[in-house]
Amino acid sequence: MKKKQFWQYIAIVIVISVFLGILIHFSTILYQLGLETRGGRERPGENSIVNTIAEVFISSMVAFGTFILNYFIIRPLDSSIKADFKRISASIILTLISVTILSDSFFAIKQFVRDKTVQKSFNLLYTSRDVFTGIVVLSGIFFIKNVNDKQAVRFENEKLKRENLLTQYESLKNQVSPHFLFNSLTALKELINQDPENARNYLNHLSQVLRYTLQSNQSQTRCLIEELEVAESYMFLLKIRFGSNLVIDKQIDEKYKFYRLPPLAIQTLLENAIKHNEISKRYPLTISIETSDNQTISVINTIRERNSPEYSSNVGLSNLSKQYMFLAGKEILILRKNNEFMVEIPLLKPGQYESNYS
């Protein structure tokens, strides 16, 4: 990354340096192109054109050399190094010195190559040109430094924000319902006395649900087919607990079986339905799990609110909603209509949300 930034810096200062060289000698260039006249004299010939190109090249090289010098003084690509008074002062002084020395040296060499003599004379125009070059270089280097520092701050803020969201996401996934475990073990205890054979099946399904729950933090998402498998085990536990008073219907399109969703998403929705509704012979509960053509899966249940609601921390649907916002920036849909409660969650395309944790 640093190497890439350095070459980007070189490309930028080359462009600025060439532009500056052209700007300094712009009047001469216009004269060479016949767009400007000087006291009625004819335009210089080819020799003067070469001379103008040489001067533009020298001015560009002076600017480029000064940019490189300031790279090691100001360190514009290193946001950890601040442009304090000491660095700024050193940059200004060394810039003016280097511009003067480089400019005089290059133009002296050019003069010597052309006339075999070097004429040392003070020229206010040359001094103004050097000062102007120094000002542009300093402005450019501090502008690049400022932009890079702001980008570094934004990048760090985004990194911290994402790390914070990831921490929240992990916290959401690691919340295991103690009531589910308590109820499951209570049902197992009763089943062992009444039906030992079925108790073994119950224990197998319970261990599968718990194993899946404990391993769910190894991936941000799971395949729908995996979620349905553990949901089957979970529904088996519920059926043992509630018997024929609980009816669960599934209508799943096979084309979505490898689509992704947060771990335990379906179980969360089933738990939500069980937690908030009465389930009895008088008031049986029907839960439907179905996919739709708009790439979603819904859990729909009849509404029969408990007279004595089971304790709820009210984080189930909220957590699921936050997980979807973290993963894909998508919302879940919660609808209460007539005598039905529906939660519709998006199915995420495979290949895009399969990150594992190391």
Return the domain boundaries, the chain. 2-166, 174-346
Average pLDDT, integer, range 30-49: 61
User: What residues have CB less than 8 Å from 34, skipping those under 6 apart?
Assistant: 43
Least confident segment among 39-53, 68-82, 119-133, 216-230 = 39-53
Contact 228, 252 (CB under 8 A): yes
Whether the CA torsion 71, 74, 79, 81 is positive or negative: it is positive
* Backbone angles phi and psi of 258, in degrees to 5: -105, 5
Confidence of residue 353 (pLDDT cuts 50, 70, 90): low
Question: For residue range 176-201, what is the model confidence (pLDDT) as tens digits?
Answer: 555 566 767 777 787 788 888 888 88
Average pLDDT, integer, range 222-234: 90
Q: Considering only the top CATH level, what class is 174-346?
A: alpha beta
Which whole-number Å values give the CA distances from 155 to 151, 163, 197, 239, 328, in the listed order? 6, 12, 59, 51, 20
Question: For residue range 89-112, what is the model confidence (pLDDT) as tens digits?
Answer: 888 888 888 888 888 777 777 666
pLDDT attached to residue 225:
93
Long-range (24+ apart) CB contacts under 8 A made by 232-236 are: 233/205, 233/206, 233/208, 233/209, 234/205, 234/209, 234/267, 234/270, 235/270, 236/201, 236/202, 236/205
pLDDT attached to residue 357:
46
Residue 65 to residue 94: CA distance in whole angstroms: 12
pTM: 0.51
Residue 273 to residue 299: CA distance in whole angstroms: 9
**Ordered alpha helix ranges (H), 75-195:** 85-115, 124-173, 178-194
Q: How many CA atoms lie within 13 A of 280 on its CB side?
A: 8
